[in-house]
Amino acid sequence: MAAGSAIQIPSRLPLLLTHESVLLPGSTMRTSVDSPRNMQLVRSRLLKGTSLRSTIIGVIPNTSDPTSDCDDLPNLHRIGTAALAVQVVGSNWPKPHYTLLVTGLCRFQILQLLKEKPYPVAEVQQLDRLEQFTNGHKSEEELGELSEQFYKYAVQLVEMLDMSVPAVAKLRRLLDNLPREALPDILTSIIRTTNQEKLQILDAVRLEERFKMTIPLLVRQIEGLKLLQKTRKSKQDDDKRVVAIRPNRRISHGSITEDEEEEEDHDDVVMLEKKIRTSSMSEQALKVCLKEIKRLKKMPQSMPEYALTRNYLELMVELPWNKSTKDRLEIRAARIVLDNDHYAMEKLKKRVLEYLAVRQLKNNLKGPILCFVGPPGVGKTSVGRSIAKTLGREFHRIALGGVCDQSDIRGHRRTYVGSMPGRIINGLKTVGVNNPVFLLDEVDKLAKSLQGDPAAALLEVLDPEQNHSFTDHYLNVAFDLSQVLFIATANTTATIPPALLDRMEVIQVPGYTQEEKIEIAHRHLIPKQLELHGLTPQQIQIPQVTTLGIITRYTREAGVRALDRKLGAICRAVAVKVAEGQHKEAKPDRAEVGEGEDCKEHVTEDAKPESISDTADLALPPEMPILIDFHALKDILGPPMYDMEVSERLSQPGVAIGLAWTPLGGEIMFVEASRMDGEGQLTLTGQLGDVMKESAHLAISWLRSNAKRYQLTNASGSFDLLDNTDIHLHFPAGAVTKDGPSAGVTIVTCLASLFSGRLVCSDVAMTGEITLRGLVLPVGGIKDKVLAAHRAGLKRIIIPQRNEKDLEEIAAHVRQELSFVLAGCLDEVLNAAFDGGFAVKARLEHLNSKL
Ligand code: ADP
């Protein structure tokens, strides 16, 4: 402070209203400016003004919430500090904002508010007489004893701090040189005091009062430091420095032990350093962190890099370098958990148990990474969760669908603005242990882009030989991932990059049969939905036939997700009914009035339960349990979405049903053919891939070469099928891309039907690749395809002979309901696809019936 110079502050001062901090004369404060009034003040007074006078402003503390002072000026504190604005730092991002560095000069009192907008200006009276400092020994004599006592404590306090810190040494010099009158203000702003205490000091206009109030604060600080020194000998240096540099910290009025705790809490950087030293991070990481914290200490807080470095260090401290949960692996218990959580999926559960058993015997994770591949909603994620449960580990799901930037996996380098760690490191931070179960969901949907290939980044994560030193770009030090149990899920292996697939053991999770779905619904989905909607089995009853109805008429999927949603919709509708009922029960009179004949119509065979479709008797409280029958289904879910359309569509020659495999499970697929006069052209429509187009050409070539044998003719009776004839083959659902060789047999059958004019049996579906010589080769996805045919109500399925082994995977009851034809060559396919076979003789029959 400019002691000795006779400073007279202007009699009119613009007022800066601060909310949190209190500026005392002789101290410097950095304050952030974001309220409209303060912004105006900075803009029109400080940024535009050129004279020294214009940099003097009045700082009024303790204003209530200055950010919301749009219209009315809040009540202002009567006394404030005239201050010199030393520095204005501004930024426009993310929103306009200034930081102001102000040095307190002297107290003033507001006499009269002259204007309120755009920023307040007041007529003020200076309270501290600055010119007295040079010659004013009068007050010192008067207050001799008080000021001596104060000075003694001040010296004691400063001596407890480390003189090697420049700020402390400067303070020591100031103590000797400054007039004593100035000391209470300066010391109060340096030691730890609350805003309230500072405000009291500011309000103490009389010097005597000020000395009296400051002494207890000094004593408290000295006691606190003494205790602290005992416990933190080694880190004294930093503490004192922070005490000296950051004067505005609050502490509570609690006991001295609390002070000590508070002290530790508030010295953020020191705390951070302590945390770093006590954390169990690797040696390499520790070295990097200590280097960073050293830089942090030297950095001004306003530097953008300060926040970056701090975030980085905080992440490093938070990471579970050495923290893990204890595995409690017990195979019998694991089996029970898996069985309880999931119905069916025996093959998957068996493989998972084997995997866990090996882990129990051999305490080592270097096994293959399991990858569950199957259609959506078949329980892949949920099995992953159960595995975590059986192991007693934390579970974390990382959705990889659509990830196209390798930084998503491996983090951004810290040089980028907004850089952050990758999903793996983030996941570890979230779970807080280093041995969670990570479920890498949808690995087949990773994409590539200019930002690199995330699949390649995953290679390092998943390779047990490499992942003990996985280096995230953001961390820039190695983190050991070898304790993490990775499980991947995908809908198809086709789009998983081969190198990634190579690291994983694929376990196929096929779709469910209708019977399995009914069981899953009744054992798992319905109880779960009831609980979610606050219903009990006494309130709603969903019979198995209804569930079957939902499965066949409202869903067509391999998994159970849509089924789950439909059940949710039913529960919601019932919840409304139940809630309404409760409401009406409270008014029984109305309920009786509504009882009329109408109600009888809706009573089901079981006299008690009531259908939700009853709309006529809304006035009645519903009788419990509410039975969900087909009427109710229609009311809630609308008309059925899928009908059995198969037989209708096979009412003309030239249509056959094939079986296709898609990432969403198996599907039945119609193939349609028509012929017309032309020049032997083949037209293919329906978004076909190259392989499928080739199959179509193969089929035509084979039929042409065998036309005589089967008595197939074109419209003009010629055995040259393409003579003056064009053929059009169409695969409906034209928006969906189709490819693969397995439609070969279906195309042959469809064309054979077209050229022979005979109908393909309406309950037959088929799949198989063909060769030019008429052999039928095996194809994949048999189980899914068979289930799709079963769902669609087909009875006979033609599959390649060499796929016979795949039938074993299919549940016995499904096999019983279907008849399988194992075909080795196309003759056998055609024989099975047409009623009465497709031998040479058939032509005569056909001719008889057709002509
Ligand atoms: P996915 O990951 O294969 O797409 P989810 O694991 O998310 O499917 O499963 C969807 C829902 O179906 C979950 O609520 C799950 O509990 C349930 N579910 C799927 N299969 C079964 C099963 N076999 N037994 C019990 N619930 C199942």
pLDDT in tens, 281-291: 888 899 999 99
275 domain-assigned:
yes
**pLDDT score of 516:** 87
Distance 348 CA to ligand 1 centre (A): 13
Pocket test residue of 348, 512, 524, 529 for ligand 1, highest count of atoms within 8 A of CB: 524
Is the model's pLDDT at 592 over the cut of 80? no
Is the model's pLDDT at 541 over the cut of 50? yes
Of residues 195 and 616, more confidence is placed in 195
CATH code of residue 443: 3.40.50.300
Strand-pair partners of 775: 825
Of residues 754 and 3, more confidence is placed in 754
Instruction: Enumerate residues 6+ apart whose C-beta is below 8 A from 109.
Output: 78, 79, 124, 125, 127
Q: Is residue 487 within 6 Å of ligand 1 at its C-beta?
A: no
Q: Is residue 564 within 6 Å of ligand 1 at its C-beta?
A: yes
Give the mean model confidence (pLDDT) for residues 548-552.
88
**pLDDT score of 605:** 39
Phi, psi of 657 (to 5 degrees): -105, 125
Q: Is residue 220 within 6 Å of ligand 1 at its C-beta?
A: no
Name the residue with the closest Cα to ligand 1, atom 9.
Answer: 379
Say yes or no: 780 and 736 in one domain.
Answer: yes
Q: State how beta strands 97-115 and 28-33 pair.
A: antiparallel
Say yes or no: 177 and 94 in one domain.
Answer: no
Q: How far apart are the first and last CA of the chain?
A: 119
Say yes or no: 399 and 500 in one domain.
Answer: yes
Say yes or no: 31 and 63 in one domain.
Answer: yes
Q: Is 753 in contact with 653 (CB distance < 8 Å)? A: yes
Structure token pair of residue 218: 């000094």
Q: Is residue 380 within 6 Å of ligand 1 at its C-beta?
A: yes
CATH code of residue 760: 3.30.230.10
Say yes or no: 377 and 289 in one domain.
Answer: no
pLDDT in tens, 446-455: 887 777 788 8
**pLDDT score of 736:** 66
Binning pLDDT at 50, 70 and 90, where does residue 620 land? low
735 domain-assigned:
yes
CATH code of residue 632: 1.10.8.60
Is the model's pLDDT at 395 over the cut of 90? yes
Q: Is residue 349 within 6 Å of ligand 1 at its C-beta?
A: no
Is the model's pLDDT at 434 over the cut of 80? yes
Among candidates 196, 187, 98, 204, which has minimal Cα distance to 150? Answer: 187
Task: Please indicate whether residue 274 is annotated as part of the active site.
Answer: no
Task: Pick the last residue of a domain from 608, 643, 678.
Answer: 643
Say yes or no: 467 and 486 in one domain.
Answer: yes
CA distances to 181, 208, 460, 557, 625 from 141, rounded to whole Å, are 12, 12, 78, 95, 93
345 domain-assigned:
yes
Say how many C-beta atoms besides its own lie within 10 A of residue 120's C-beta. Answer: 25
Structure token pair of residue 8: 């007279």
Q: Is 102 in contact with 28 (CB distance < 8 Å)? A: yes
CA distances to 218, 232, 367, 384, 439 from 394, rounded to whole Å, are 50, 36, 19, 11, 11
Among 407, 611, 742, 756, the active-site one is 742
Say yes or no: 458 and 545 in one domain.
Answer: no
Q: Is 402 in contact with 465 (CB distance < 8 Å)? A: no
Name the residue with the closest Cα to ligand 1, atom 22.
Answer: 342
Give the CA count within 13 Å in the CB-facing half-sphere of 139.
Answer: 18
Structure token pair of residue 237: 């240096």
Q: Is 414 in contact with 474 (CB distance < 8 Å)? A: yes
Q: Is 475 in contact with 525 (CB distance < 8 Å)? A: no
Number of domains the chain contains: 6
694 domain-assigned:
yes
Say yes or no: 310 and 353 in one domain.
Answer: no
324 domain-assigned:
no
Structure token pair of residue 128: 């501290």
655 domain-assigned:
yes
SS3 category, 626? strand
Name the residue with the closest Cα to ligand 1, atom 5.
Answer: 379
**pLDDT score of 591:** 38
Instruction: Enumerate residues 6+ apart whose C-beta is below 8 A from 1.
Output: 25, 26, 103, 105, 178, 182, 186
Task: Pick the last residue of a domain from 475, 508, 541.
Answer: 508
pLDDT in tens, 168-181: 777 778 788 888 78
Phi, psi of 597 (to 5 degrees): -70, -35
Q: Is residue 382 within 6 Å of ligand 1 at its C-beta?
A: yes
This prediction's pTM: 0.58
Ligand 1 atom closest to 376 (CA):
4
Percentage of residues in the chain having pLDDT higher than 90:
18
Task: Please indicate whether residue 785 is annotated as part of the active site.
Answer: yes
Q: Can you tell me the distance from the alpha carbon of 520 to that of 840, in angstroms, rounded to the nearest whole number? A: 49
**pLDDT score of 183:** 84
What SS3 string covers 218-280?
HHHHHHHHHHHHHHCHHHHHHHHHHHHHCCCCCCCCCCHHHHHHHHHHHCHHHHHHHHHHHCC
Ligand 1 atom closest to 516 (CA):
23
Q: Is residue 344 within 6 Å of ligand 1 at its C-beta?
A: yes
**pLDDT score of 718:** 80
Say yes or no: 635 and 649 in one domain.
Answer: no
CATH code of residue 85: 2.30.130.40
Domain that holds residue 280: 268-318
**Mean pLDDT over all residues of the chain?**
80
Structure token pair of residue 271: 């705390």
Among 349, 445, 577, 785, the active-site one is 785
Q: Can you tell me the distance from the alpha carbon of 613 to that of 627, in angstroms, rounded to the nearest whole number? A: 9
597 domain-assigned:
no
Say yes or no: 470 and 531 in one domain.
Answer: no
Task: Pick the last residue of a domain from 483, 508, 533.
Answer: 508
CA distances to 401, 423, 428, 469, 470 from 454, rounded to whole Å, are 11, 11, 18, 18, 14
Map tokens 């700082």 to a residue. Answer: 59
Say yes or no: 358 and 443 in one domain.
Answer: yes
Say yes or no: 193 and 296 in one domain.
Answer: no
Give the mean model confidence (pLDDT) for residues 204-213.
87
611 domain-assigned:
no
Ligand 1 atom closest to 528 (CA):
14
Name the residue with the closest Cα to ligand 1, atom 10.
Answer: 377
Binding site residue list for ATP:
374-381
pLDDT in tens, 314-360: 899 989 998 888 887 788 888 998 999 999 888 889 988 888 888 77
Helices 346-361 and 380-391 pack at an angle, to 10 degrees, of 30
In the chain, DSSP finds a helix count (H) and a strand count (E) of: 35, 25
